[in-house]
């Protein structure tokens, strides 16, 4: 007899897990940094990215899910296929995200976005949300939680999408959330510049964090790309992804095949959250990289 189909959280049910796994708690917080549009071979050949791979866990067979990129961002937080038109940001209704699951367990989350306007004027920013497509080097399509109507139209939820300037304050005040998604601007993520530019920005942002022993002891940092630059089927959407943190084996090379859904499922398992959809529901938590 075939197993009963899995029931996933729904907006109608308040985006709560009917049955949640026991939290594994390998890390106390996760910081996800997403860069843009590079093939694995080119990324791993960059001096700084190669050094990062040696300092953490290097996934040599990791793959993006889609071309173009926007659907990858949405899959990272919603666990399912959300089709977008010509890589433009979209308004998604009736979708639960990991933010809902975290909130249901009293766990905080934020999407830090470089260039996101400081929104103090409620007349200018209804629900404290800046919903425009662009602002300088800021791009809404790289801020996945902003695409979700239930977040965008709720003042409390949208207050979790903040300027990246807030990251330094939260770090200094020891108020970083359990889940942090960091969206660099269109220059620093390499979208409108190039790989060397993005790697230099990443070095300047990341190295001070890596030197903080107490921070790294409890924090898993995920550095990944949304998709490969080669969009041919033969390329397999092969991208660079590294895990960094005191809980992972340094200089570890993982040859097993993984993708963005597997990272999401790993984070869910860590915090005792159920899968959101068919994507992360069919994914496998990443194992054999932990101390």
Residue 88 lies in a domain: yes
What is the residue range of 264's domain?
29-281
pLDDT for position 87: 59
- Which residue in 47, 51, 91, 192 is the catalytic one? 192
- Residue 37 belongs to some domain of the structure: yes
Long-range contacts of 249-253 (CB under 8 A, 24+ apart): 249/57, 249/289, 249/290, 249/291, 250/54, 250/55, 250/56, 250/57, 251/54, 251/55, 252/56, 252/57, 252/58, 252/289, 253/57, 253/58, 253/60
Report if residue 252 sits inside a domain.
yes
Average pLDDT, the chain: 93
Mean pLDDT of the region 13-28? 92
Domain count, the chain: 1
pLDDT value at position 121?
55
User: Token digits for 183?
Assistant: 């969206």
Is 108 a domain residue? yes
The neighbouring-strand residues paired with 220 are 30
Q: Would residue 291 count as lying in a domain?
A: no
Residue 98 confidence (pLDDT) above 60: yes
Residue 77 lies in a domain: yes
Q: Quick one: pLDDT at residue 6? A: 79
190 CB-near residues (< 8 Å, 6+ apart)? 35, 36, 37, 38, 197, 198
Average pLDDT, stretch 18-27? 92
Which of residues 201 and 19 earns the better pLDDT score? Answer: 201
pLDDT of residue 3: 52
Gap between the Cα atoms of 275 and 288, Å rounded: 21
192 is annotated as an active-site residue: yes
167 sits in which H/E element: helix 165-172
Range 100-110 burial, b when 16+ CB lie within 10 A, else e = bbbbbeebbbb
Q: What is the mean pLDDT of residues 129-147?
A: 91
* DSSP letter (8 states) at residue 148: B
Residues with Cβ within 8 Å of residue 112, at least 6 apart in sequence? 162, 163, 164, 166, 167, 180, 181, 182, 183
What is 183-195 written as a DSSP string?
E--TTTTSSSS-H
Give the pLDDT confidence score for residue 126 in this predicted structure.
65
Convert the pLDDT of each residue in 26-45 to its tens digit: 999 999 999 999 999 999 99
The predicted structure's pLDDT at residue 4 = 54
pLDDT, one tens digit per residue, over 149-203 is 999 989 899 999 999 999 999 999 999 999 999 999 999 999 999 999 999 999 9
Nearest to 162 by CA among 136, 138, 191: 138
For residue 68, what pLDDT is reported? 85
- CATH number (domain holding residue 183): 3.40.720.10
For residue 57, tell me if it sits in a domain: yes
Which tens digits make up the pLDDT trace of 82-97? 888 665 667 899 999 9
Kindly state whether residue 289 falls inside one of the protein's structural domains: no
- For residue 1, what pLDDT band results from cuts at 50, 70 and 90? very low
Distance CA 276, CA 51 (A): 34
- Res. 217: pLDDT tops 90: yes
């Amino acid at each position: 007899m075939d197993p009963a189909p899995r029931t996933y959280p729904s907006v109608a049910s308040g985006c709560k897990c009917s049955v949640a796994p026991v939290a594994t708690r390998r890390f106390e917080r996760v910081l996800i940094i997403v860069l843009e549009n590079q093939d694995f071979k080119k990324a791993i050949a960059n001096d700084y990215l190669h050094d990062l791979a040696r300092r953490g866990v290097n996934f040599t067979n990791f793959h993006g899910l889609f071309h173009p990129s926007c659907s990858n961002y949405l899959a990272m937080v919603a666990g399912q296929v959300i089709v977008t038109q010509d890589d433009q940001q979209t308004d998604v209704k009736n979708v639960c995200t990991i933010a809902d699951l975290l909130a249901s367990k009293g766990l905080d989350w934020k999407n830090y976005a470089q260039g996101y306007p400081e929104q103090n004027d409620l007349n200018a920013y209804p629900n404290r949300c800046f919903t425009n497509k662009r602002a300088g080097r800021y791009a809404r399509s790289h801020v996945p939680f902003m695409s979700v109507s239930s977040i965008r139209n709720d003042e409390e939820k949208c207050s979790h999408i903040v300027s990246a300037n807030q990251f330094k304050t939260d770090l200094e005040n020891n108020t970083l959330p359990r889940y942090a998604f960091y969206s660099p601007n269109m220059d620093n993520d390499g979208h409108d510049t190039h790989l060397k530019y993005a790697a230099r920005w990443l070095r300047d942002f990341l190295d001070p964090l890596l030197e903080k022993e107490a921070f790294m002891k409890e924090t898993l940092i995920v550095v990944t790309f949304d998709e490969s630059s080669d969009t041919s089927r033969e390329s397999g959407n092969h991208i660079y992804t590294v895990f960094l943190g005191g809980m992972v084996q340094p200089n570890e090379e993982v040859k097993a095949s993984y993708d963005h859904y597997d990272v999401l499922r790993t984070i869910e398992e860590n915090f005792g959250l159920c899968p959101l959809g068919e994507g992360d529901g069919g994914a496998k938590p990443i194992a054999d990289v932990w101390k």
